[in-house]
Structure 1
Amino acid sequence: MQYLAPVDWLIVFGYIIVIITIGVYLSKRATKNIESYFVANRKLPWWLLGTSMVATTFAADTPLAVSGLVRTKGIAGNWYWWSGAMAGMLGVFFYSKLWRRSKILTDTQFAELRYSGRPASILRGFRALYFSLVYNTIVMGWVMLAMAKILGGVLGLPKWQAVAVCYVIAVVYTSLSGLWGVVVTDFIEFCTAMFTSILLAIIAVNKFGGIAAVLANLTTICGVERTTSITAILPLHSMLLPIGFFLIYVGLQWWTTGNTDGGAYFAQRMLSAKDERHARLGFLWANIAHYCIRTWPWIVVGLVAIVAFPHLKDPEMGYIKVMLKFLPTGLLGLAIAGFVAAFLSTIDTQLNWGASYLINDFYRRRCGVPSTLVLVAYQCME
């Protein structure tokens, strides 16, 4: 099954070449020492580090998941992750300045600032190995599985071969350019992915004659009661998301799951900020973009997908189906480039962040020679 015209392929390959070129260009900034490689010499401005944060959480499968959630749980179903905004605000106004003030290289290193002795050392080493090798591998695995699903469905290519190519591209520019390359390419990747998402939402809605026509068709297909449930932002008027689940999301889930303290790769970005002010503003911008801006194009496409494909078996494929049905040649290639961008923006962060744990919190403390740390970091990603 082949959907892409030559001009579409040209756009996709052109985008990949641009990303690799940027990585090579920024390699000089990253290879000076371990601080330049993992925290960009603590010189990142707020808008760059904040965009990198939100780009990292924008994987290739994120639009598919959100649009699929609209079909199965309605718009209110997104409270599953919208509830995380409360932890985000806690991080903005309390933790961000403390992370930057600590001047550590990774959040795992904080274990030996907060505690002391052999137990602290064991905790730091365990966290470094667990998150870099076990947790990180699982995350990259599901991101690659989603990308394989997308490339297989859209391009008709052998799934894992196509994903392997994308992964190698991410490894090349990430290992060459360190965190500088990650955040700069993340910025470009986020802009590309968001532009294509917004463009798809606008084109798809206009094909039906506007959002009012989409909602009218939705009512015809689903009935008044179900349409009300699908379009409800709060679950008070939704039969798809029980109020009990909503209360669990907003009252319990956000503070009992990971990164409530703004740790992991979020902390890495704040540790890389120019100062405490840039750390706070960057995390604030990331939360605004993550919770208030980027969701809505995917929700709109999710509504269109219900109207255009009411009997779709796989809810998450609705986004792909809408894209293939309504985007013309050229724009389809740009949309595929957007998916590649979303994939790369997640993988590059996982690679750099995981390597920072292995090098700073394990290898460096046991057998690390300062002059070899960057070289070993290359090898960790490969």
Structure 2
Amino acid sequence: MNERSAKALLDLSQLDLGIVGAYFIIVIFAGLYLSRRASKGISDYFLGGHSIPWWVMGASGTASNLDMTGTMVIVSFFYATGLQGFWVAMRGGVGLPLGILMTFMGAWLQRSNVMTTAEWMTLRFGEGGGGNAARLLSAISNLIVTVGFTVYFCKGTGKFLAIFLPFSPDTCAVLMVSVGLIYTMASGLYGVVYTDLIQEVLLIITAVLISYKAFTLPDHAQLLAEAGDKWMALAPQWKAEPMTWLKDPGIYHLFGLNVIFWVARGVLEGAGGFTGGYMPQRYYAAGSERQAGLLTAEWIILLSLRWTMVIGLALLGLHIARGAPELARVLLADPEKTLPIVLGKVMPSGFKGVAVAGLVAAAMSTFDSTINAGASYWVKDIYQRFINPKASDKRLVWQSYFATAVTAIVALVTALAIENINEIWSWITGPLSAGLFAPIVLRWYWWRFNGEGFAIATAAGLLTAVMVKIFAPSLPLYIAFPLTSGLSLLGGVIGSYATKPTPSGVVAEFYKQLRPFGLWGKVRQELGLEHETVSKASGEARRALFNTPLAMGFHLAIFLAAIHIVLRQWARVGWLTGGALLAAAILYVTWYKHLPPEPAKTPPPSA
């Protein structure tokens, strides 16, 4: 199948183009409509004035998680390897940190009462040299990661849209960035979350359409029989066959070890609150601890629909390959073509437009959330903190517009200048992120960890990750992960003990405000806290440690149950659903019933 015939297969009708165009118009006008609310100040621009309903932010988080490029990659693994693709998605697509955010980390982030993770460093380490170094380093690293994520968005989205539209990938990327930039720059977090709500509705419709199409295939049973037991095997395999479509076909040969480190990475992300710029932002913007917990529960439940769509696309790919040997050869050589070929071959006119608009919505929701959160680091942690501390609200809002635009433009120009970002992306999500885990986690659980230790641990992790990229780019994850994280941990411990502790007053205020568990006994002792306060903190810690495995089990069970519904594997659906319901029942008693009530609203002053 040549490029031209593939393109013809996937051309959109006038009706489909009209649906996609209508989607663009709706989100632009929705964002512009909300622009006046965001212009009051940077708290409104980046946190929605803490007034956005929790259910809107939960839906927004789900939409932001469901990025289009990542979905194409996950579908390719499901098509080629079957249910083993779910374990590959532990790299990030499953959203493993959400269980931890639901049970305690979301509440800790909300209690922080900050706008950005970089500002959080001042809360934890104070305003001295160590605190300022940690804050500046955090702001810069978050800006770099924001640009990296946005480059990934631009490149992947451009390639996807070019399959359907009569434009080059670069032109499609410019189109998408321009549309997203218009409403995101104008309306800040208000525009992000409310347009995400529209986009989430569209994504739900898309997931239902694709899942139903796969579920009702006339050759459903034959497809699974021909795919074989290995394709249907749910337990992660210890060794994987060469994945010939990848640049390094043997990179996941020791598949079981990779799964262990992917799971460890997800747990550390959650335990450190290190979950991408837009995820912490939802908790900083939440109006209360209760809302932080509820939005995460909604986030997990809605995200299960992604997996009905993913397995549906993979199953439809098998159906197409079964009846078209030419397309089967295309998909064997490059499984990443599964998603666009399925949309072009299986979905009728009208439905195809809805599906394409839904996947565009997935891309846009990731883009808008990422650049809005990223811009906050420039405005709050660099411009206001170090350049113009006395800036007015109006000037800060203009800086917000500036930072949002520049972030998007820099990422777009970078995307247009490079051919392939897969290696860079693998490095960012592999050795680089592993090198940041030690300082990100230690900051919560060890009182003696200080700003200097954070800076040294971060520098050690970054330096090791760069060395791995230059001298050992093919180093397997199960070696690169412990190497970079281990050296970072060593640097953080040595750096903390080699320098003065964070001032006791700063540490004490941090503990009283957030009540984290871990190695805080010395601080509790020095504070001389009342028995009731200590008992409350201990109770929170016990419930968090008990509820977290339950929440993560519930999370995985509903995702896997959703997959097996589309596969019509009713025995598995039964025990997975039963496990999810049991976990939910226990969590109702041990988690939901202990959520603090909404704080009383202060009545407006009388005239």
> What TM-score, normalized to structure 2?
0.58
Alignment partner of 1:169 is 2:179: yes
Match of residue 380 from structure 1: 403
Match for residue 31 of structure 1 among 17, 31, 39: 39
Match of residue 216 from structure 1: 222
Match of residue 235 from structure 2: 234
| Aligned mates of 1:16, 1:37 — CA distance in 2 | 22
Match for residue 212 of structure 2 among 202, 217, 225: 202
State the shift of 1:218 in Å.
Answer: 4.2
Instruction: Kindly provide the amino acid, as one letter, of the partner of residue 276 in structure 1.
Output: E
Match of residue 409 from structure 2: none
Q: Helix, strand or coil: the match of 2:287?
A: coil
Match for residue 178 of structure 1 among 188, 192, 196: 188
Match of residue 134 from structure 2: 123
Match for residue 273 of structure 1 among 262, 286, 291: 286
| Aligned mates of 2:205, 2:369 — CA distance in 1 | 21
Instruction: Kindly provide the amino acid, as one letter, of the partner of residue 223 in structure 2.
Output: N
Deviation digits for residues 31-88 of structure 1 (CA, Å, limit 9, x no counterpart): 0011000000001222111111121121122331221111233213322344865532
Instruction: Kindly provide the amino acid, as one letter, of the partner of residue 182 in structure 1.
Output: V
| Aligned mates of 1:270, 1:41 — CA distance in 2 | 12
Q: Helix, strand or coil: the match of 1:157?
A: coil
Distance change (3 Å), C-alpha of 1:148 and 1:40: same
Instruction: Kindly provide the amino acid, as one letter, of the partner of residue 377 in structure 1.
Output: S
| Aligned mates of 1:275, 1:49 — CA distance in 2 | 13
Q: Helix, strand or coil: the match of 2:137?
A: helix
Q: Is the 8 A contact 1:73 1:230 kept in 2?
A: yes
Instruction: Kindly provide the amino acid, as one letter, of the partner of residue 41 in structure 2.
Output: N
Match for residue 44 of structure 1 among 52, 56, 61: 52
Q: Helix, strand or coil: the match of 1:274?
A: coil
| Aligned mates of 2:122, 2:230 — CA distance in 1 | 49
Q: Helix, strand or coil: the match of 1:105?
A: coil
- Identity between Structure 1 and Structure 2 (%): 26
Distance change (3 Å), C-alpha of 1:354 and 1:85: closer
Q: Is the 8 A contact 1:91 1:262 kept in 2?
A: no
| Aligned mates of 2:97, 2:403 — CA distance in 1 | 31
Match of residue 318 from structure 1: 338
The alignment yields a C-alpha RMSD, in angstroms, of 2.2
| Aligned mates of 2:81, 2:214 — CA distance in 1 | 21
Instruction: Kindly provide the amino acid, as one letter, of the partner of residue 261 in structure 1.
Output: G
Match of residue 300 from structure 1: 312
Q: Is the 8 A contact 1:56 1:345 kept in 2?
A: yes
Distance change (3 Å), C-alpha of 1:237 and 1:364: closer
| Aligned mates of 2:381, 2:47 — CA distance in 1 | 14
Q: Is the 8 A contact 1:76 1:232 kept in 2?
A: yes
| Aligned mates of 1:259, 1:72 — CA distance in 2 | 32
Match of residue 295 from structure 2: 282
Match for residue 141 of structure 1 among 141, 151, 160: 151
Q: How does 1:9-158 map to 2 (within 5 A)?
A: 9-82=17-90, 86-116=96-126, 117-132=128-143, 134-158=144-168
Match for residue 340 of structure 1 among 360, 384, 387: 360
Q: Which has the larger radius of gyration?
A: 2
| Aligned mates of 2:269, 2:88 — CA distance in 1 | 12
Q: Is the 8 A contact 1:351 1:381 kept in 2?
A: yes
Alignment partner of 1:192 is 2:202: yes
Unmatched 5+ stretches in structure 1: none
Deviation digits for residues 130-162 of structure 1 (CA, Å, limit 9, x no counterpart): 211x21111111111111121122234211112
Instruction: Kindly provide the amino acid, as one letter, of the partner of residue 112 in structure 2.
Output: S
Distance change (3 Å), C-alpha of 1:86 and 1:155: closer
Deviation digits for residues 152-196 of structure 1 (CA, Å, limit 9, x no counterpart): 222342111122011011111001111011001111112212311
Q: Is the 8 A contact 1:229 1:239 kept in 2?
A: no
| Aligned mates of 2:95, 2:150 — CA distance in 1 | 24
| Aligned mates of 2:123, 2:385 — CA distance in 1 | 15
Q: Helix, strand or coil: the match of 1:294?
A: helix
Deviation digits for residues 243-280 of structure 1 (CA, Å, limit 9, x no counterpart): 44433433x23234588425532111111112111111
Match of residue 384 from structure 2: 364
State the shift of 1:287 in Å.
Answer: 2.5
> What TM-score, normalized to structure 1?
0.90
Distance change (3 Å), C-alpha of 1:114 and 1:65: same
| Aligned mates of 1:288, 1:234 — CA distance in 2 | 23
Q: Is the 8 A contact 1:68 1:316 kept in 2?
A: yes
| Aligned mates of 2:238, 2:141 — CA distance in 1 | 42
| Aligned mates of 1:53, 1:153 — CA distance in 2 | 28
| Aligned mates of 1:129, 1:323 — CA distance in 2 | 40
Instruction: Kindly provide the amino acid, as one letter, of the partner of residue 138 in structure 2.
Output: R
Q: Is the 8 A contact 2:83 2:233 kept in 1?
A: yes
Instruction: Kindly provide the amino acid, as one letter, of the partner of residue 73 in structure 1.
Output: T
Figure out how many residues of one structure are paired with residues of the other and give that number. 370
Q: Is the 8 A contact 2:60 2:193 kept in 1?
A: yes
Q: Is the 8 A contact 1:87 1:260 kept in 2?
A: no
State the shift of 1:9 in Å.
Answer: 1.4
State the shift of 1:345 in Å.
Answer: 0.4
| Aligned mates of 2:344, 2:231 — CA distance in 1 | 24
| Aligned mates of 1:275, 1:166 — CA distance in 2 | 34
Q: Is the 8 A contact 1:30 1:37 kept in 2?
A: yes
Deviation digits for residues 280-334 of structure 1 (CA, Å, limit 9, x no counterpart): 11122213333x3321221121122133123312111111111111111111111
Alignment partner of 1:6 is 2:26: no
Q: Is the 8 A contact 2:54 2:295 kept in 1?
A: yes
| Aligned mates of 2:356, 2:319 — CA distance in 1 | 23
Greater relative contact order (Cα < 8 A, sep 6+): 1
Match for residue 261 of structure 1 among 248, 259, 273: 273
Q: Helix, strand or coil: the match of 1:235?
A: coil
Q: Is the 8 A contact 1:30 1:36 kept in 2?
A: yes
Q: Helix, strand or coil: the match of 2:308?
A: helix
Instruction: Kindly provide the amino acid, as one letter, of the partner of residue 143 in structure 1.
Output: F
Distance change (3 Å), C-alpha of 1:307 and 1:330: closer
